[in-house]
A = this chain, B = another copy of it.
Amino acid sequence: MPKHLVSINDLSKASIEKIFDLADKIDEKLQKKEPIDLCKDKIMATMFYEPSTRTRMSFESAMYRLGGKVISSADTKSTSSAAKGESLIDTIKVIQHYADLVILRHFNDGSAKLAAENSLVPIISGGDGSHEHPTQTLCDLYTLRREKGKIKGLNIALCGDLRYGRTVHSLVYGLAKFGATIFTVAPDDFALPEHVERRLKLAYNTEVKKFKKFDEHLSATDVLFMKNLKKSKGAKEELISENLFQPIPIEYFDAIYVTRIQMERIEGTKSRHESLMSYLVNKELLEKAKNDTIVLHPLPRRSELSYDIDKDKRAAYFKQAAYGVPVRMALIAIMLGATDDNIKMNIEKSDDHFLEDKCSNHNCITQEEENVQHKFDKVEGADNTYRCYYCDLEKIVKV
């Protein structure tokens, strides 16, 4: 059975730490310009059905820095047989004979898991629809570890479009694994999907603290005063349960993770423009932040992250993109068995509940691909609720 990485949930905290330790060693060698030939004679295929700069280019750079080769398909949707209607499964069943490892970016949620199920060689997801983007999460977590020294106990604000941005859907599980405290700062329209929240609770026993906007006029002290916030561990939960305190002071956070606004969903209505402004991260906002707070963004950015903070030493988003190379080098080397690190990296097994209906997510790969069984897993602690094995969307089945 090959290793695959289609969800951050496939990796234990210990496994992630092993990847990061190797990335540290590799980065040291990169800095010294020492050659790293761990994957000589190996071929990686990049199959990108959607545009990409960072993910494809950093994976290809990583493979070359490891001494390997790359067959590249930057626009698989229109330049491969997908243009003639070939199914994803068929494409994978062919490509597995041409490459030792496949990096897949695909527009359908759950596509990476379907590909992995059908592949003899390792599949790494480079993003599947609005679902997950596990290697981005590895870069995000690695940046936190490098820049803050640890992840456990950090107060992390996630802001922007948390509904459609797939990077956050992977990141929250990663943060939960490492014991960070997760705050979301987003208008209701762009809140984290419910099924993600539920999974955080059930699988990681973690609750997200939800806010609508930052407030640079409030200081953390105000909050302490108002809510007696840090009095005890239990007190933190009040913040949400009472739901009285909607803006949150920027001063409160160790890291602010901003995500791209999907402009196409925002333009047109005034109220949405106002939503947009509520989580704008700029110089003015940062003035109230701590000296060692870092700002992250998976990039590309639009107006949600102002250029006026680029030279601020707390702006860590270009470093975050740069770490993509050592992190992905470590990941590739481990997945191709080129190191002694024996990391468990398997897709969660399904309970194999076969429901009559398809998944209700219109963007799920099971809607697109003809020959797929509609597998679901029973969600623990929720009656009659099943989770799509591919895209993770939950479904309540009438009895």
Binding site for B on A (CB under 8 A): 33, 35, 41, 43, 45, 48, 51-54, 57-58, 60-61, 64-65, 69-75, 78-86, 90-91, 93-95, 97-99, 260, 263, 299-302, 307, 318, 321-322, 324-325, 370-371
Q: How far is the CA of A143 from the CA of B301 in the complex (A)?
A: 44
Contact of A94 among B33, B263, B318 (CB under 8 A): B318
- Residue pairs across A and B with Cβ atoms less than 8 A apart, 7 shown, are A43-B61, A53-B80, A53-B81, A57-B95, A75-B79, A94-B318, A307-B370
> Chain B residues with Cβ under 8 A from A93's Cβ?
318, 321
Closest CB in chain B relative to A85 CB, distance in Å: 6
Contact of A322 among B71, B97, B302, B324 (CB under 8 A): B97
Q: How far is the CA of A58 from the CA of B61 in the complex (A)?
A: 20
> Chain B residues with Cβ under 8 A from A73's Cβ?
53, 57, 74
Given contacts A64-B71, A71-B61, contact A85 B52 (CB under 8 A): no
Cβ-defined contact, A85 with B51, below 8 A = no
Q: How far is the CA of A307 from the CA of B73 in the complex (A)?
A: 25
Given contacts A53-B91, A64-B43, A370-B307, contact A300 B85 (CB under 8 A): yes
Q: How far is the CA of A201 from the CA of B346 in the complex (A)?
A: 57
> Chain B residues with Cβ under 8 A from A300's Cβ?
81, 84-86, 90-91
Q: How far is the CA of A160 from the CA of B297 in the complex (A)?
A: 48
> Chain B residues with Cβ under 8 A from A325's Cβ?
97-98
Residue of B nearest to A75 (CB): B79
Contact of A78 among B75, B84, B94, B318 (CB under 8 A): B75
Cβ-defined contact, B43 with A65, below 8 A = yes
> Chain B residues with Cβ under 8 A from A90's Cβ?
299-301
> Chain B residues with Cβ under 8 A from A307's Cβ?
370-371
Q: How far is the CA of A220 from the CA of B33 in the complex (A)?
A: 61
> Chain B residues with Cβ under 8 A from A80's Cβ?
51-53
Residue of B nearest to A302 (CB): B85
Cβ-defined contact, A51 with B79, below 8 A = yes
Cβ-defined contact, B99 with A61, below 8 A = yes
Closest CB in chain B relative to A322 CB, distance in Å: 4
Cβ-defined contact, A260 with B75, below 8 A = no
Closest CB in chain B relative to A165 CB, distance in Å: 12
Cβ-defined contact, A78 with B60, below 8 A = no
Contact of A64 among B52, B69, B95 (CB under 8 A): B69
Cβ-defined contact, A57 with B71, below 8 A = yes
> Chain B residues with Cβ under 8 A from A54's Cβ?
81, 94
Q: How far is the CA of A260 from the CA of B84 in the complex (A)?
A: 10
